[in-house]
Structure 1
Amino acid sequence: MDVYLEPLIDDMVDMFLHGVRTYDASKQEFFNLKAAILWTIHDFSGLGYTAGCTTSGEGAFPECHSDTCSLRLNNGSKTCYMGHRMFLHEDHPFRSNTHSFDGIAEHRPAPIPLSGSEIVAQMEDMHTVFGKDPSGKKKTKRKRKDDEPLIVWKRKSIFFRLPYWESLLLRHNLDVMHIEKNVCENIINTLLCIDGKSKDNLNSRLDLQALNITSDLHPVELEVEDKFYLPPAPYEMNVAQQRLFCGVFKGARFPYGLAANIRGNVHVKERKIIGLKSHDNHILMQHLLPLAVRRLLPEKVSAALIRVSNFFKQIYSHVISVSDMEKLEAEIAETLSILETIFPPSFFDIMVHLMVHLPAQAKIAGPVHFRNMFPIERYLCRCKGFVHTRSHPEGSIAKSYLFDETLTYCSRYIKGETQFTRQIRNDQGLGMETSSTTPFFSNLGRGLVGKHYVLLDNKTWIQAHRYVLFNYDHIEPYLNKHKEYLSSIGLKNNRQISRVQHESFHEWFKKHVEEMGDKVLEEISILAQGPFKVAQQFSSYTRNGLHFHMQSYDDGRPVQNSGVALVAQTTRYEKVNADNMIIGNQTFYGIIKEILEMNYENKGKIVIFKCDWVDNRRKDKWVKVDRLGVTSMNFKHLVNTGENISDEPFVLASQATQVFYVEDPIDDEWVTVSHYNPRGSYAMHEAEDEDVETAMPMVDPHIYSCFHDDLQSIDCARTDRDGRIVYAKKSRKKKRW
């Protein structure tokens, strides 16, 4: 690898020390342009090539160096990486818990990463010979003796020729994409007990027996030769549960652009999930895994897996702070320690261990979406598409790349539609031109399909118009005037005033604005007149890069774009005192039934969604949040259906947040909801204070507190089902001819 990188390193040294004379077109002057390599981005196997370190065996990760807590499993013929208790703080109760772990109290501190000067000092006496041995002999690997130091470096990386490389805090990024993919595959293959891929097999149970830990899971040799009984582990599921687990993935439909259609990769009858790509595992880990395990596994096992899912959700946050990452660093160390009490040692390969180092890198380098392999893998896929002559793939890629760059350069000087001026696929455009005096009517979206005109009945027209008025930004002064008017005509308490105002405000508002004449704003005048009773209806509508569909348009399609959520301020009154008002925020979940564009006198248009809303008036009745933080609801019980004139079935398109629903694996009348951040959205904050609340996903605190009380309550073996009977696989000897 260093031979291929040498020309690049020579150029980068020259760019850093001397630079190149460059012309600034904006200032019309020359300046000296210098450049530097910030860090490298690669998968974990690429770390060994670029950093010159080992990526397997005893010292598989250079940041842990000689303090890597590794263990060789003789039966499984692999190395596991456990001992995550040493990453906990000194007073954590897990450190002194000997019963739930390996019987030894943990007093070791977390490994301190080597500085650049320490790494150079360890590489100082290394002499690297490039190329193969002329004699043709292969290098023999010698087993390290107990008194010999652990060597984690194979050669001095060529990157240390850069004058600044030794001083960098972060040189090589861990690839979150592949780490998440491998962790997700470990979990799913183990839960489904996939032969050859599961981390729980006879060899892993024999390793437990050899290590003398978790005695309840030790294999029992039967009288029949080479036949063993494996007691059921806490994460094991029977055949029916495994099919329900696969059924969650099989029935999942995602919003447009969020994920690929994975239903063809899920085989429910065979209990297998095959052929998933990295992004598919990303979606399964963060959205579907918590929904699938919460009803099928014991609560504490589910909580531990949901903690892993939440870790990846938070590490992928677009906006993070140092305090968030410090908290996440402590949480993932505790989560991995809990997993050590549930899964066998063979589960903890190097990819699982690398999770504990991700928050520390995020504190230095920032959000991971700037540093993962997703854009690189997509570009490599594009380069593979350039290959037309399979006998010379490099030449095909180079020729097509040069051709593409040439067209890109020429298109900058061509008038008309080019790749720089072509509208993007989800370009929302503007619904209509609006003046500066009517910003409320600026529809930053457009209808896609199914456009036609509908005549609204009087009840629907009142409900839609009333909702628009009550959600206008500058309506508060008029609401207060109307309340004063209702009080003056003899209404007794606030409850009566609110009810009458809800029913009659639109009529009073129109008369009041007409009496004021030209003294009101143009927007107020347009709103007071009300919309036409003829409205445009769409089957599909796009806004802010999101597609919204009517439920009837969603039926039969592989995508689900009809789910919406709304966080609204609600008002209620005490039964005893009708004047005592209680105001709070409440989340409403619904399904879009109609998409309407209301036309206000041809001077402004407003897009609203008519939805079926789940009844959430009684807490934990038809909308529940379980102890694991998963929200489920029953769409058989609705509220604000629109049957009564006082109902509010509408929501502004600008207010709706898109969600998607997944059927409950046990009860088909209930669904669980999953929130997601649209691609390209960033929750930026104006305040620069580090303590400001960030956009990291909210998680239920119970999944973190449920282990503090009694970790020993996690049963090592399940008593509600039978174990498995397996045969010992005999090693096949190679035949000599």
Structure 2
Amino acid sequence: MRWHHDHVYDGETMTHPSDSPAWRNFTETHPHFASEIRNVRLALSADGFQPFGQTGQQYSSWPVIMTPYNLPSWMCMKDEYMFLTVLAPGPKNPKDKLDVFLQPLIAELQSLWVDGTVTYDVHSRTNITLRAALMWTISYFPAYAMLSGWSTAGKQACPHCMSDSEAFTLPHSRKTCWFGNHRKFLPVEHPLRHSRNLFRRGRTVSHTARPTRSGFELLDELDSYGFLPSYEVDTEEHNKELSKLLAGGWRKRSIFWELPYWSSNMVRHNLDVMHIDKNVFDNIFNTLMNVPEKTKDNAKSRADLCRNVHKTRVAFRYWQRLISKGNIFPRKRRKTSSLKMVERYTLSVFKVVGRSIGASKSRHLQNNEYHAVATYMLLNCAETRSFVQMYENHLRSSVPGIYNADVDAQLQQHFFQWFKNYETLNQDFNISPDIKQLALGPQFKVKCLRGYCVNGFKFHTKEDSTHKATDNSGVHVRGVAGDGTSTNYYGIIDEILEVKYAGNSQSKTVLFKCTWFDTHPRLGTRVHPKYKIVEINRKRSLRYYDPFVFCTQASQVVYLAYPSTKKIISDWVYVGGLKKREYIQQIRSDTDQVDGNVANEAFQNHESQSHGLETQLLLNTQNLVYVTVMYDNDIDVGTQNSDTDDVQAFTDESSNNQSEDSE
């Protein structure tokens, strides 16, 4: 709350409202309020919206939001520091009656200015009398009339010129136009003041714009006219008659004039530039592109141009030529060098696809994570498979009769260090520089992502899915061990990491850090003997540490618990596969052959044989409707059916529930 006072203004770039002249004027005008730098300075913004959308029922609601400007510029406009103080209901636009809903807010602002409120300062551990003041309002142009009381329609719509406006009505289209009205703000000697061809035909400007009127002058004018606040009873007709009689822009006496300091504010109302920029851009773009029913180029507008503007035919011919050639937004030609560009060699593990979701944060890898990432990248890189084979041959020649499981363990524990210290790494010129960078290991600093879209799925971490109605953290990977056998691995995404390597900016990849469930056929994974439904014991996980997998190798699954309190059932969850987005998946028959390509499958240590099945789960909002099972014909399902231990592991309750759900 002290930042606005401690912030130093460089005198050139305005980075915070405290750098503005209006802020400094308020400080000089009210020194008693400014003496306590913790006093709150507020801004009020109002806008209408359709809660049912553009195609639904017409219903206009108007929220009023307050924002404290004591905070830094990167905090004061965040959602958590914007307070919804008033919500004017519909179904119609409140217009001048918005002051009725603002009465409690204005009364509280008056109390906070005069009396304040006793507040405990945690930083200084003292009680202070905290006061608050409203600096200005923020709105788009139509809402400006609702807050200020000055009409934004007609020839006097400009809140600066007011009755000094030089707007005129176009004779053919009957629209109000301010073309050339801005020339009075130019210096007296400026040549554009005397131009008769560039603006309205045959007209020059010699007078200057009147000075900006203060709040005291405007309030005296309102009181002299006799306008009343719109929240009082039977004031609407009174204000309308006064507005017609005076032929001015005032429509009411705004409720903000009841604030004791409002008249002394240098700036009382601000316009939202976003709405103005959008409306101006839409009109210009639709006219240039000749969008049907949205273009402003018609017979009446051309007739008005020919009457008021010089050389209109030349201008229209110029735009017509640009539109016909498609050169409305010409691109500058880049200078190309005569030198031949050398194609940058990129490893297969650095081909990042997909996109991240939400904000990210950085952290550093721990030693075990660093070793696991470096090893996983080397074992799954297509360009380093020859070195993996070289290391395996070295192990088998050194230890004759070594088991495949021991070879896999040695690869996980020592291959990264062996490859890093490989004696020919810096001598063999056939080795790519990218492989040398891969041998040095990744950077310790990684980027943690909240979610990631890849392979037609939207993945989220378990932490990010905790407070959501849907859970997108389930993941399935088909792993390939060193002996060539494949295994289905099911897990939960703990983190989504973007890992970078030294070198060019393309040397990076996205990994899922997962907690993998146990793949043991009796203790961790089981298959229903009849319906081939996969179940996972969520209480058991893999014994070894190998948590990482490429995002491109993962598919999404969902884990559904059974409605039972028995431990033999409650520990087990059903694994359901999900369909990819924007794809229509065809269910294969038993006679179809399965693609045996394992080039893009993940390298994982194995403890059990693959069950070779995938499930597709179709759900409605209430009940489980339909379950289909797809078989991989290259797996001997009959052998699994004869396993009596798997059959006995299923209780009658779970079997009956699954049978009813499948039917």
TM over 0.5: no
Give the TM-score taking structure 1 as reference length. 0.34
* Structure with a larger share of its residues in helix: 1
* Structure with a larger share of its residues in strand: 2
